[in-house]
Amino acid sequence: MSRRIHLALHPYGVGGPGQHGLWKDARVAKNASIDINYYIAQAKAAEHALFDALFIVDSQYINATYPAHYLNRLEPLTLLSAVATHTRRVGLVGTASSTYNSPFNLARRFASLDHISGGRAGWNVVTSFDTGTSRNFGFEEHLDYTSRYGRALEFVRVARGLWDSYEDDAFPADVERGVFLDPAKLHALDHAGEHFTVAGPLNLSRSPQGQPVIFQAGVSEEGRDLAAQVAEGIYAPGGTLRQAQEYYADIKARTASYGRDPDHIKIFIHGGPVVAGTDAAARRREREIFEEDNDFDRNLALLGRSFSAYDFGVHDLDAPFPDVAHLAEKGGRTGAARIIERARAENLTLRQVAQSANEFRSSPFVGSPHTVADTIEQWFAAGTFDGINLAFRTADELELFVDGVVPLLQKRGLFRTAYEADTLRGHLGLPVPANRHTREHLLVAD
């Protein structure tokens, strides 16, 4: 098989959405989410296993009902810069909002991480799901979908323009001639658009991989279109095998429709494998994990995230699900629409909706090492993903996967047996983007 599976690691810390009880596990340090040594250890484990990347998620709004990891965690780029100095090959992908950042500042920060890591940086572009974030940045309310995604598209294009400020050979550093910079190879951006006016140039040269890799998690129509236009990696919702196939085909088709090579966008689905000595033992452990995390009050609070951080606790739990559709436009519209549709179709109460939001759903990647490897191979061959964004509750569970499943995937030719590149682009099989100014020179020469 010419295609190979890409694997990324997503640390849970003390537990995010759906892992409400993780912080109680004796194997998890209660300060894991703010302990840089925890992340360094996770990154080293991922690198030892030859994974493509370490992925750090983020948001910028909390209240007291939020999951433990959200309440107290490190800022992604600061975290990844520290991790970069303790690793050599594994990619480093951080989440940052295009709604609540400025292009020049964020472009410089990611370019800095790219240099510090030797070309291993990736940016997960989000438009901000937590509507409460707006008040942390001096705005009365969150932008609507159209504005957020239009801003995100322009933001990425501006960042890429800034990353091309210097051509690759801009610094001759010729002591004899007294020439450090060739000024003809430095380019201002002079961008003036709907959302941003940015002069440039950026005061940082290109890294060994040219530019950080752009990731995105597009579920809505606007999100999928943004991904198809600019993303090089995408975090997909997963679901059933059929749903994953449909999503994969849709994103690849949209990418082609924008004149891009569909192979230049790598789709990662979420995977929380549970591996044990036997299938039965793994299924028992999966059920135990569900029970450990099944906290009704937390689930009710989490439900509000899709509806502009709404407090459903003000309603009668046994009354019909309230009419809150108007709150979804500036929150998680796609997820909120599914919740509303199901509540109406099945005439559910608020209590039933909160319970169903965290009802037990068995993962396909549960069982003995052979069973999990077989399922991964089946899904990969069926056209559902290019990679899996893996999440494990503890270091022990990561080790079970690395020692039990990874060797089987390697034996089948589905996963690398050694790193073949030093950059994140190299791991993902993505081309180094040509500097736009160098490309223009070549076109003129032709």
C-alpha 369/C-alpha 374 separation (Å) is: 9
Tell whether 423 is in a known binding site.
Answer: no
Are residues 411 and 194 in contact, defined by beta-carbon separation less than 8 angstroms?
A: no
- Helix, strand, coil: what percent of the chain each, to 5? 45, 10, 45
What is the CA 393 to chain-centroid distance, rounded? 18
Tell whether 95 is in a known binding site.
Answer: yes
Output the CA–CA distances (angstroms, integers) from residue 287 to 65, 210, 229, in the order listed. Answer: 24, 45, 40
Q: Is the alpha carbon torsion for 300, 301, 302, 304 positive or negative?
A: positive
What is the CA 397 to chain-centroid distance, rounded? 21
444: which residues sit within 8 A by CB, 6+ positions away?
none
Q: Which class for 207: exposed (0-12), middle (13-18), buried (19 or more C-beta within 10 A)? A: buried
Tell whether 12 is in a known binding site.
Answer: no
C-alpha 14/C-alpha 393 separation (Å) is: 9
Tell whether 58 is in a known binding site.
Answer: yes
C-alpha 80/C-alpha 117 separation (Å) is: 9
Closest CA relative to residue 150, chosen from 214, 250, 60, 226: 226
State the pairing for strand pair 6-9/53-56. parallel
Q: Which residues sit in the known binding site for FMN?
A: 58, 95, 149, 220
Q: Which residues sit in the known binding site?
A: 58, 95, 149, 220
